[in-house]
Amino acid sequence: MQNFFRSLRYLRPYRTRLAISIGCVIVIAGLWGGGLAMMLPATKALISPEGLHGWAYNAITQNMLGIRLVRRDMPATTGGELQKLSIIIDVVAVDDDGPAAQAGIKQGQWLIGLGEAGEYRLIRGDILADRLASMAGNGVVSLAVFDPNDPDRSDIKLYDVHPAKVGFSTRAFRWMTSVLPKPHNFRDRFKVLLWLFALTLAMTWLRNILRFFQEYLVQTAVFSGIRDLRCQNYGVVLRLPMTFYSSHGTTDTMSRFLADMGELSRGQVTLFGKTMVEPAKALAALGAALLCSWQVTLLALIAGPPAFVLIHQFGKVMKRASKRALESHALLIRSLDETLTGLRVIKAYTMESAERKRFYRVNRRLIKQQRRMARIDSATSPSVEALGITAALAAGGMAGWWVFNDQMDSARFLAMMVCLGAMFDPVRKLAKVATRFQRAEAAATRVFELHDQPQEVRIPNAPDLPPHRESIEFRDVSLRYPSAETDAVADVNLTIHHGETLAIVGPNGCGKTTLVSLLPRLLEPTGGHILIDGQEIATVSLRSLRKQIGLVTQDTILFYATIGENIAYGLRRPDEAAVLAAAKRAYVDEFVRDLPDGYDTMVGEHGATLSGGQRQRIAIARAILRDPAIMIFDEATSQIDANSEHRIHQAMEDFTRGRTTIMIAHRFATIMSADRIVAMDAGRIIDVGSHEELMQRCSLYAHLYRTQFEDTGGPAS
């Protein structure tokens, strides 16, 4: 659970809400326990002959004297003056160190009245309990006691008892009893029962109102914390090196933001929701059960250790299944993304059936893991519930034995069973909580795997790179992608002078794009050094380096924004006139002027509403507006139509004048305008020179040149 608990630190800014919610939990638990505690008074008022008040008076008297009392009808065989009493109080148990034991009162004797000045007065049992309860804290009490086991059965003795000091709970109990009118018949007792029900209802409403606030505060705190974690991870994603995405892909990262974050938030809500409320309710129910009978309660708790072991085993299996399910979810997103992105190709090549089968395979893999999780989730609660009911019934059997042997009254037995049921219900719910935490831990592991990835090297307080004025130098530069067996770029040595236009040619996969990606540090070399004006780029501010470089790639990236916003991308406060000027130089204005909303036209997702050539012109306008010292064109004109290609080249030549320019191109019309040409193969530089020089001494270059013009029908050298 290390990663799950690690995620909780993002809740620290919202600890006030969580503290209030915990306060609500404490009150909820108290109200829950109070509601359960009302069960015993309610059953006493409903079914016990002594009624609520009689039970309360007996309870207070027992606390005062340290004895356990039972009211009984006077046996018909008793003669003498005791025959006047219809109800007597039987002492069924005496605490060893209690006040009654110290005075000499023994088990089996009857309390039949009160004494004063050596004389006694017989008092009926129900009235006597009332009198004794009202005398709590009044000093010495003289009790008239009769021993039915005395052979003469005629000896009534007086015992001076020093009652125990009445505690707060006893005083509160006595006050609450005095608030309710004492019933004189069953109709009055029914009214008392209604009062108890009304009090229970009020406590229930208050408990549920607090529960609403508790859950609302927890969820808003968790959602805010997950938002902060998601934003921090988004910052991490922006700073990850490009090699991470070449090996992991983008859809797995997206899944960590969506499915994994959702699972993690549900785990946190569960922690501060059910995990706070249900244990508190269970403890409150446990307290009420202990008040009824601590022996029976301890017997019921024997189900605890087996249930813990069972939940722990279920949780381990759930964690593994959940991690695999999240990975399968990422594959599902990948399959869906590839299908929607390449839908035109799928339709054109009639691959709908094959793609459907591939999607079904991924979907079946996901459902397999979800079924496994469902089996575990479905088995956890019934298993724990069965253990709990087994223990509760065992405890109930013992309590029933005591009832039949006059060691527990039936009302206490009923209240006891209700408390045990109320105690095991939260435990049953907590069984699902354990598996929920394991699912959240699996999600947290994947989230923090992304969070802990090595990021782009950024030196704190690194100096800014001065404006480029002299040269760019590659010294023994090599790069090998993770898990690759060979270098993508190997031992490259190259110097590019300021203001020079350099073209790089070579077959596909020879390392051209990898090489130019090293300059803005989109990739980090695994060997060698890259210097601009003699200063190594790894030692300067990354922001200052990239601000001097303009990049136009073959795969044009446009964002879901207006055309004007896409051109101005990368500038915080773009000037409208400058945006318009850049658009005109890149011939964007030619097609934008005919649009109803002009530069405020939304380009659609990935620029889907524009043609490939239009998207490329916008990308070139974006680079022109940036006004960089170094320009990189990676197949920048590959999607430009022939009609506008010449004008685009003119604009590029005008814009790149006085700037260091690196071009990757397959079209030799673009390559031949360069000052120098670099021929690459298998990650290495084969030759460097002008077009004429390379045609004479570089067989690879000559082959590429002849192949292109033979394919296009153009002239060959």
Residue-wise pLDDT for 29-38, tens only, equals 777 766 666 6
Distance CA 475, CA 404 (A): 97
Query: Is the pLDDT assigned to residue 245 strictly greater than 50?
Result: yes
Same domain, 410 and 509: no
- H or E stretch including 688? strand 684-689
Residues 284, 401, single domain; the answer is yes
- Residues 316-353 have pLDDT tens digits of 777 777 777 777 877 777 777 777 666 766 777 677 78
- Whether 432 and 287 map to the same domain: the answer is yes
What pTM value is reported for the model?
0.65
Structure tokens at 589: 């204005």
* Residue 507 and residue 427 in one domain: no
Q: Is 504 helix (H, G, I), strand (E, B) or coil?
A: strand
- C-alpha to C-alpha distance for 519 and 531, rounded to whole angstroms: 9
For residue 408, is pLDDT > 70? no
What pLDDT is recorded for position 411? 60
pLDDT value at position 529? Answer: 92
**Rg of the chain in Å (alpha carbons):** 43
pLDDT in tens, 382-395: 776 666 667 666 76
* Residue burial 296-334, b: 16+ Cβ < 10 Å; e: rest: bbebbbebeeebeebbeebbebbbebbbbbbbbbbbbbb
Q: Indicate the pLDDT class of residue 717, thresholds 50, 70 and 90.
A: very low
**Parallel, antiparallel or unpaired: strands 110-116 and 119-122:** antiparallel
Token readout for 512 is 């051209």
Chain centroid to CA 717: how far? 66
Which pLDDT belongs to residue 512? 87
C-alpha torsion 249→250→255→261, nearest 10: 110
CB neighbours of 89 closer than 8 A, spacing ≥ 6? 69, 70, 71, 72, 110, 111, 112, 125, 128, 129
Strands (E) located in 444-488: 471-479
Q: How far is CA 571 from the centre of its chain?
A: 36
Rounded Cα distance, 309 and 332, in Å: 35
Greater model confidence, 574 or 379: 574
154: confidence class by pLDDT, cuts 50, 70, 90: low
Domain containing residue 647: 500-516+546-712
- Residue pLDDT, tens place only, 505-543: 888 888 888 899 899 888 888 899 999 998 998 888 888
Q: Where are the beta strands (DSSP E) in 395-443?
A: none
In a domain, residue 70? The reply is: no
* pLDDT of 93 strictly over 80: yes
Torsion angles phi and psi, residue 302, rounded to 5: -65, -15
Same domain for 570 and 442? no
Separation of alpha carbons 65 and 92, rounded Å: 13
Residue 221 has pLDDT above 70, yes or no: yes
Q: How many domains does the chain have?
A: 2
Tell me if 145 is assigned to some domain: no
CA separation (Å) from 435 to 79, 314, 316?
A: 69, 7, 8
Kind and range of the H or E run holding 441: helix 410-451
Query: Which residues have a Cβ under 8 Å from the Cβ of 190 and sit 6 or more positions away?
Result: none
Predicted pLDDT at 79? 67
- The percent of the chain in helix, strand and coil, each rounded to the nearest 5, is 60, 15, 25
How far does CA 663 lie from the centroid of its chain? 48
Residues contacting residue 292 through CB under 8 Å, at least 6 positions apart: 40, 412, 415, 416, 419
Distance, CA of 596 to CA of 585 (rounded, Å): 21
- 293 vs 500, residue with greater confidence: 500
Q: How is residue 64 written in tokens?
A: 């005062």
In a domain, 508, yes or no: yes
Whether residues 322 and 213 share a domain: the answer is yes
Answer yes or no: is 509 within a domain. Answer: yes
Mean pLDDT of 112-128: 83
Q: How far is CA 18 from the centre of its chain?
A: 15
Q: Range with the lowest mean pLDDT among 283-287, 291-295, 484-488?
A: 291-295
pLDDT at 715: 47
Helix 15-37 × helix 261-272 angle, to 10°: 50
Q: Which helix (H) or strand (E) is 502 found in, with range?
A: strand 501-505
Pull the structure tokens for residue 345. 């190709």
Q: How confident is the model at residue 710 (pLDDT cuts 50, 70, 90)?
A: low
Tens digits of residue pLDDT in 186-206: 676 677 667 777 877 888 888
Asked if 407 and 356 count as a contact pair (C-beta separation under 8 A), the reply is: no
Give the pLDDT band (50/70/90) at residue 473: very high
Size of the chain, expressed as the number of residues it contains = 717
Bigger pLDDT: 351 or 618?
618
Q: Is residue 467 a part of any domain in this protein?
A: no
- Say whether both 348 and 204 belong to one domain: yes
* Last residue of one domain, picked from the residues 415, 431, 451: 451
What's the rounded mean pLDDT across residues 158-171?
75
Whether 684 is in a domain gets the answer: yes
What six digits make up the tokens of 167? 């505690």
Dihedral angle over CA of 576, 577, 578, 579, nearest 10? 50
Is residue 440 located within the same domain as residue 550? no
Mean local confidence (pLDDT), 592-620: 79
541 domain residue, yes or no: no
Residue 161 has pLDDT above 80, yes or no: yes
Q: What is the mean pLDDT of residues 19-35?
A: 81
For residues 659 and 582, membership in a common domain is answered with yes
d(CA 482, CA 210): 54
Mean pLDDT of the chain: 78
- Higher pLDDT: 610 or 349? It is 610
Residue 7: inside a domain: yes
Q: What is the band of 445 on the pLDDT scale with cuts at 50, 70, 90?
A: confident
CA pair distance 275, 5, nearest whole angstrom: 14
Q: Looking at the structure, do residues 510 and 402 belong to the same domain, yes or no?
A: no
| pLDDT of 716 higher than 50 | no
pLDDT of residue 147: 85
Rounded average pLDDT over 406-416:
65
Sign of CA dihedral 508, 514, 516, 520: positive
Pairing, β 549-552 against β 87-94: unpaired
Domain of residue 619, CATH code: 3.40.50.300
Q: Which two tokens stand for residue 267?
A: 């785990």
- Specify whether 363 is located in the same domain as 431: yes
415 and 511 housed in the same domain: no
C-alpha closest to that of 450 among 259, 602, 601: 259
pLDDT at 477: 92
Confidence band, pLDDT 50/70/90 cuts, at residue 476: very high
Structure tokens at 708: 């292109």
Q: What is the CATH number of the domain that holds 424?
A: 1.20.1560.10
Measured CA to CA in angstroms, residue 545 lies from 97, 463, 498, 535, 656 at distances of: 87, 10, 15, 11, 18
Could you give the CA distance from residue 699 to residue 305 in angstroms, rounded to a whole number?
79
Q: Do the beta carbons of residue 393 and residue 421 sit within 8 Å?
A: no
Contact 144, 111 (CB under 8 A): yes
Burial of 235 (0-12, 13-18, 19+ CB in 10 A): exposed
Share of the chain above pLDDT 90, in %: 4
- The answer, yes or no, to whether residue 238 has pLDDT greater than 70, is yes
How far apart are the C-alpha atoms of 555 and 634, rounded to whole Å? 9
For residue 707, which amino acid is it? T
